[in-house]
């Protein structure tokens, strides 16, 4: 066999196995060393290649696709700093439990550490931020090695998907010649197992024994003030199961926006959505101490909630995690329950008696309702402001929208102002490590799965990933971006360093004075600027009718934004305290 035939046999088996494991989307970055994999991926009939020149954006794009699809996406790049540019998205994927299969091409061993061009040490390049690393063998076409290539691929796909999902990294040493033999008859079937219809790896759900479930149900039944907390979680059947548990127990559910419980046909009056506001007020929070907490998903966005939970140190906190991790940053002594979340809810619901906790639950509901209606006064502001934008989105977003929000103030304002409703709106954010990088690309990745997709982000987040916009143009994607432009980092005005006036603007405010219309034009998008709220509504509705990239800039002011938030919190606290006195 020629070198090209050998390489083709080995790598085509690998690529075919990706498709056999239902990895149908691969984001490919151009490069030389990765040529054979790129060509074979492009040739495979069941794989769709998404080309993206900037590796940092490419990896975030893949992250967004994987989030949207709920299954692994692969990424491929050449050797050297190209691979290093994947790193931020890999870290985010690791901490937010998103499955990615990372493929990097590398020099063969004789060209490593000898001054060969574009050669860096790619072994364990992503350190502890991948679930699994494998250095592939050099291509060989023996039956054994073709099976090996398929097995590594199947294992990588399974490892990425299994709870907790996350990224895996395969590094491919490749020698020249780098162009495979295409159009070979049957080469994608090479080495497939007989009757290969199922995935190679079958896995099940984590569960507890019946006595373990019984014991926890007994403990929960003894509770008089139980509370459920749901953070970022996206597990089949969970929403219905947790609502059923709440209805049976009478426990209120504190639902983070990423719990997918706020915008959902299954939400009901047990869902508490304005806790981030009212738990800030000690006088109110002090009335609401639970005697048991059940937590699902990642720790919620709300700092007020984390601090509230931290104060509940003398009670049981059950933290249910099908990923068997340790997501407990509040520093309390938790009771970890390594069990599928949906299964846990179902088992508890079937064991517990119908609740009689109306007094406790009603207090939560009353305070929540009062807070929500007080927060709605944000809508009385005639000027453009950041909170009102999220309050209005609740009304303006159509059914089945994917809403992606950036870190910094957008996710916080979403938490405060985007309250529960019956529309099915899927909410996404990069909350693994809260970066403001790669946001445009991640949202574009989501937009390949959902239409419409709406991204809300600040000007610095937008600036950080302007390169990502190229994908919208090249791949003809449909995305509405709401660019909240307060000319710098608005979040820092809420922090104590805001008082250090001498240095604040240079070090934290970081105004840039950029006119983003040029960037949008460069990438062929439709740019508009909202001057009034009516204007905003018209632009937004129009954006849903247009194809392609649409950017609506919403100019706001950092200084007045902080003041408006503070005034509103003061007003809300007065309103709730009045309720408590009544
Ligand atoms: N760099 C990265 C990659 N991630 C980060 N989270 C930060 C820096 C620190 N950081 C957090 S928020 C923020 C920065 C720099 C400012 C974000 O500004 P913008 O996106 O305009 O949103 P705003 O604060 O105005 O809501």
Q: Alpha-carbon dihedral of residues 178, 183, 184, 189, nearest 10 degrees? A: 100
Q: Is the CB of 460 under 6 A from ligand 1?
A: yes
Q: How many other C-beta atoms are found inside a 10 Å radius of the C-beta of residue 70?
A: 14
Question: Any residues with CB less than 8 A from the CB of 470 and at least 6 apart, and which?
Answer: 52, 53, 54, 57, 523
| Residue-by-residue DSSP string for 305-357 | HHHHHHH-TTSEEEEE-TT-----TT----EEE-S-HHHHHHHHHHHSPPP--
Q: Ligand 1 centre and the CA of 468: distance in Å? A: 17
Q: Which two tokens stand for residue 121?
A: 């040490």
Ligand 1 mutation target, pool 408, 486, 516, 554, most atoms within 8 A of CB: 408
Q: Is the CB of 407 under 6 A from ligand 1?
A: yes
3-state helix, strand, coil in the chain (%, to 5): 45, 15, 40
Give CA–CA dist 410/429, Å, rounded: 10
Q: How many other C-beta atoms are found inside a 10 Å radius of the C-beta of residue 338?
A: 16
Q: Is the CB of 510 under 6 A from ligand 1?
A: no
Q: Ligand 1 centre and the CA of 407: distance in Å? A: 7
Q: Which two tokens stand for residue 236?
A: 């089949």
CA distances from 472 to 29, 63, 549 (A): 15, 16, 6
Q: Ligand 1 centre and the CA of 29: distance in Å? A: 27
Helices (H), 162-295: 210-221, 238-249, 275-278, 282-285
Q: Is the CB of 459 under 6 A from ligand 1?
A: yes
Q: Ligand 1 centre and the CA of 571: distance in Å? A: 28
Answer yes or no: are the C-beta atoms of 213 and 237 closer than 8 Å: no
The helix or strand, by DSSP H or E, that contains position 512, with its residue range, turns out to be: none
Q: Ligand 1 centre and the CA of 275: distance in Å? A: 24
Of 157, 3, 30, the C-alpha closest to 470 is: 30
- Tell me, what's the pLDDT at 357? 64
- Tell me, what's the pLDDT at 186? 82
Give CA–CA dist 298/124, Å, rounded: 27
Q: Ligand 1 centre and the CA of 438: distance in Å? A: 12
Give CA–CA dist 229/209, Å, rounded: 24
Measuring from atom 15 of ligand 1, which residue has the nearest CA?
489
Q: Is the CB of 436 under 6 A from ligand 1?
A: yes
Determine the Cα angle at 133 with ends 24 and 159, to 5°: 50
Q: How many other C-beta atoms are found inside a 10 Å radius of the C-beta of residue 432?
A: 19
Answer yes or no: are the C-beta atoms of 558 and 388 closer than 8 Å: no
Measuring from atom 18 of ligand 1, which residue has the nearest CA?
489
Question: ipTM score here?
Answer: 0.99
Q: Which atom of ligand 1 is the closest one to the Cα of 406?
A: 20
Q: Is the CB of 491 under 6 A from ligand 1?
A: yes
Determine the Cα angle at 291 with ends 285 and 296, to 5°: 85
CA distances from 569 to 118, 144, 371, 385, 537 (A): 55, 67, 10, 15, 26
| Residue-by-residue DSSP string for 67-96 | HHHTS-EEEEE-STHHHHTTHHHHHHHHHH
Q: Is the CB of 434 under 6 A from ligand 1?
A: yes
Q: Is the CB of 435 under 6 A from ligand 1?
A: yes
Ligand 1 mutation target, pool 460, 481, 504, most atoms within 8 A of CB: 460
Give CA–CA dist 494/572, Å, rounded: 18
Q: Is the CB of 556 under 6 A from ligand 1?
A: no
Question: Any residues with CB less than 8 A from the CB of 322 and at least 6 apart, and which?
Answer: 163, 164, 205, 206, 235, 338, 339, 340, 341
Give CA–CA dist 436/253, Å, rounded: 29
Q: Which two tokens stand for residue 178?
A: 């780098």
pTM listed for this prediction: 0.97
Q: Which atom of ligand 1 is the closest one to the Cα of 457?
A: 20
- Tell me, what's the pLDDT at 198? 66
Ligand 1 mutation target, pool 489, 497, 504, most atoms within 8 A of CB: 489
Answer yes or no: are the C-beta atoms of 298 and 319 closer than 8 Å: no
The conformation of residue 509, written as its DSSP 8-state character, comes to: I
Measuring from atom 26 of ligand 1, which residue has the nearest CA?
409
Give CA–CA dist 578/484, Å, rounded: 34
- Tell me, what's the pLDDT at 197? 65
Q: Which stretches in the chain have pLDDT values below 70?
A: 197-198, 357
């Amino acid at each position: 066999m020629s070198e090209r035939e050998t390489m083709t046999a080995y790598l085509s088996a690998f690529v075919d196995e990706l498709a056999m494991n239902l990895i149908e989307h691969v984001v490919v970055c151009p490069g030389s060393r990765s040529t054979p994999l790129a060509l074979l991926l492009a040739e495979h009939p069941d794989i769709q290649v998404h080309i993206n020149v900037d590796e940092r954006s490419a990896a975030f794009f893949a992250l967004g696709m994987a989030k949207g699809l709920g299954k692994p996406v692969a990424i491929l790049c050449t050797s050297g700093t190209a691979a290093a540019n994947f790193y931020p998205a890999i870290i985010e994927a690791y901490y937010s439990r998103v499955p990615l299969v990372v493929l990097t091409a590398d020099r063969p061993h004789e060209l490593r550490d000898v001054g060969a061009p574009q050669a860096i040490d790619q072994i364990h390049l992503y350190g502890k931020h991948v679930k699994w690393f494998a250095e592939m063998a050099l291509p060989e076409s023996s039956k054994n090695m073709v099976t090996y290539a398929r097995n590594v691929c199947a294992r990588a796909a399974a490892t990425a998907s299994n709870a907790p999902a996350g990224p895996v990294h395969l590094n491919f040493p490749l020698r020249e010649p780098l162009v495979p033999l295409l159009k070979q008859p049957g080469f994608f079937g090479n080495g497939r197992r007989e009757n290969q219809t199922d995935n190679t790896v079958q896995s099940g759900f984590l569960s507890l024994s019946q006595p373990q479930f019984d014991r926890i149900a007994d403990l929960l039944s003894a509770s008089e003030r139980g509370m459920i907390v749901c953070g970022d979680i996206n597990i089949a059947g969970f929403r219905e199961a947790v609502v059923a548990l709440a209805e049976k127990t009478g426990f209120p559910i504190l639902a983070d926006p990423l719990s997918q419980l706020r915008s959902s046909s299954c939400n009901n009056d047990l869902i508490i959505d304005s806790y981030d506001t009212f738990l800030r007020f000690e006088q109110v929070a002090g009335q609401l101490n639970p005697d048991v907490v059940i937590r699902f998903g990642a720790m919620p966005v709300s700092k007020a909630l984390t601090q509230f939970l931290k104060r509940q140190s003398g009670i049981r906190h059950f933290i249910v995690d099908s990923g068997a991790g340790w997501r407990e940053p509040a520093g309390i002594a938790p009771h970890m329950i390594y069990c599928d979340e949906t299964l846990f809810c179902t088992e508890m619901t079937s064991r517990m008696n119908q609740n009689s906790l109306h007094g406790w639950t009603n207090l939560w509901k009353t305070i929540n309702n009062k807070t929500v209606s007080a927060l709605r006064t944000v809508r009385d502001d005639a000027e453009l402001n950041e909170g009102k934008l999220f309050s209005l989105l609740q009304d303006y977003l159509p059914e089945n929208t994917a809403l992606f929000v950036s870190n910094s103030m957008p996710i916080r304002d979403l938490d405060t102002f985007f309250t529960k409703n019956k529309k099915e709106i899927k909410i996404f954010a990069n909350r693994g490590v809260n970066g403001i990088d790669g946001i445009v690309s991640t949202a574009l990745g989501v937009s390949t799965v959902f239409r419409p997709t709406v991204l809300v982000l600040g000007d610095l987040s937008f600036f950080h990933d302007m390169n990502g916009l190229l994908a919208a143009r090249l791949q003809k994607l449909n995305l509405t971006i709401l660019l909240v432009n307060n000319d710098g980092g608005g979040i820092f005005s809420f922090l104590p360093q805001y008082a250090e006036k001498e240095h604040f603007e240079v070090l934290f405010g970081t105004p840039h004075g950029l006119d983003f219309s040029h960037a949008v034009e460069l990438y062929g998008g439709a740019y508009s600027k909202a001057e009034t709220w009516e204007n905003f509504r018209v632009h937004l509705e129009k954006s849903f009718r247009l194809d392609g990239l649409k950017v609506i800039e919403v100019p706001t002011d950092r200084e007045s934004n902080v003041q408006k938030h503070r005034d509103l919190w003061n007003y809300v606290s007065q309103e709730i305290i009045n309720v408590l006195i009544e």
